[in-house]
Amino acid sequence: MSDGPTHTVASLVSTLNATVQVPGSKSVAARALVCAAMALGESTVSNLPSGDDTASMLSGLATLGAKFEVHGDTAKFRSSWDVDQLDPLVLDARLAGTTARFLTAVSALRLGEVVITGEEALRKRPMDDLHQALSDIGLDVSPLNGTGMLPVAVKRGKQKIERVIIPATTSSQFTTALMLIAPKLPQGLSIVTEGDVVSQSYLDMTVGVQCSFGVAPVEQGEHVFRYASGDYVGTRYEVEPDASSASYPLAAAAIAGGRVVVSGLGRSSLQGDSQFVDVLVRMGCSVERNGDDVVLSRAKEIPLLGVTVDMRDMSDLVPTLAVVAAFAQTATTITGVGFIRKKESDRISDLAHELRALGVSVDERQDGLTVHPSTTHAGSVDTHHDHRLAMSLALIGLVTPGVVINDPMVVSKSWPEYWQMLGALK
């Protein structure tokens, strides 16, 4: 039983038939905001999501001296930030790993020292591969509380190498951070990833956003991104709808049967998570595209069937798929995602524990999960400070009365209006 706020999910009382507007992609938004802050000339970035991660990124860029104004869901940047300022700064990334990683690299372009810190949970998350790579390049990196952790102090140093190697097995955010600053280094940079790349789709997303701001790798392969020295150019950029957020209403239609329309999702060309629709089709759902809208449906007489799927390129959606899998008539095995144990929560072990609390039969694997056909029941689940666990586990409550989510406002990280959306489904 939780001592804090809870949310009891309201079960559906009729066949699902809903249209949902999801927020802009926070992953795309983070990249676009960094590019806009470094670009020559004016930029506007519109359809920004309202979550904590976006607020953290905007706050961090303001701390660094980026000049912009926010009106509604649009940020207008007036010019590139001044990297030659000498005054020391402290940048608080709060709980946002993306902000901490991207802006650690960006801050290392600055002449004056920047201390990057965050809340306790963020200070426990791994940063070592990024810090080591920045140091290898010649940038000044000084850990303040143990190697590879926050807080860390960074500032500009003399570039020593034009080619850096970074492990690709922990987080694509480390590689993306280097990609974002590569064209701003005097000699450019060649980034070589080592090992099996996790979340390759996020690296492709980075390239896509950079191209919109006038920067493209001069060489791009499976394990290399090489950039010449150059400038980002201001532009008008609209953030596409968030495919990760869209997974929840789509999963609702898969679980409960019925029909959900996600407005604008057909424009989500940069996100690997847009492949989630294809997985649901394999399980027995139907999909159609009306212009930019995606319509997913499942007739109740058509059973859900389990799948075996490597989720490394859409790893944020492992909790969503695991919940859908509980209602399938055969088992589902999710592989390739051992690295998600170091996300906001241990998204394998913690997820398995909470699924079991609601009656789901699940086997934990080193690199994923196997979920068996289950009969779910009422219960209370913890969110482990993880918005994706909260949003996915709540879906069980749509068809199982009595599901209670502890610490429900953790969803503010990516979709503060999530509970209103879920309650409006009908």
Task: State the Cα angle at 314 between 311 and 316, rounded to 5°.
Answer: 105
Say how far apart CA 391 and CA 36 lie, in whole Å: 31
- The domain boundary, picked from 238, 268, 283, lies at 238
Last residue of a domain, one of 171, 206, 238: 238
Q: What is the 3-state secondary structure (H, E, C) of 366-406?
A: CCEEEECCCCCCCEEECCCCCHHHHHHHHHHHHCCCCEEEE
In a domain, 1, yes or no: no
144 and 62 in a common domain = yes
Please check whether residues 274 and 176 belong to one and the same domain: no
Closest CA to 402 of 378, 366, 374: 378
- Mean pLDDT by 10-residue block, N- to C-terminus, for the chain (426 residues)? 84 95 95 97 96 94 97 94 95 93 98 96 90 97 92 97 90 94 98 85 94 96 93 97 95 97 86 91 95 94 97 93 98 94 88 98 96 98 95 98 97 93 94
Q: Which helix (H) or strand (E) holds 143?
A: strand 140-143
Please check whether residue 410 lies inside any domain of the structure: yes
Q: Which domain holds residue 325?
A: 6-24+241-424
Which pLDDT score, from 0 to 100, does residue 131 have? 97
Residue with tokens 């009891």: 8
Do 417 and 361 lie in a common domain?
A: yes
> What is the spatial distance between Cα 59 and Cα 45, in angstroms, rounded to a whole number?
15
Tell me the CA end-to-end span of the chain in Å, nearest whole number: 29
Question: Looking at the structure, do residues 207 and 315 belong to the same domain, yes or no?
Answer: no
Q: Name the percent of the chain in helix, strand, coil, to the closest 5.
A: 35, 25, 40
pLDDT at residue 59, as a whole number: 97
Name the active-site residue from 52, 53, 92, 316.
316
Report d(CA 355, CA 337) in Å as an integer.
18
Residue 79 lies in a domain: yes
Report field, pTM of the whole predicted structure over 0.85: yes
Question: Tokens 């280094």 map to which residue?
Answer: 185
Query: Does any domain span residue 165?
Result: yes
Q: Which of 238, 273, 301 is the last residue in one of the domains?
A: 238
What type of residue is 380? S
Q: What is the total count of domains within the chain?
A: 2
Residues 197 and 170 in one domain: yes
Q: Has residue 306 been placed in a domain?
A: yes
Instruction: Residue 164: give its domain's CATH number.
Output: 3.65.10.10
- Based on the fold, state whether residues 234 and 307 are members of the same structural domain: no
Q: Do 229 and 248 fall within a single domain?
A: no
Does residue 382 have an active-site annotation? no
- 371 and 247 within one domain: yes
Q: Is 176 exposed, middle or buried (0-12, 13-18, 19+ CB in 10 A)?
A: buried
Q: Under 8 Å CB-to-CB from 72, ≥6 apart: which residues?
A: none
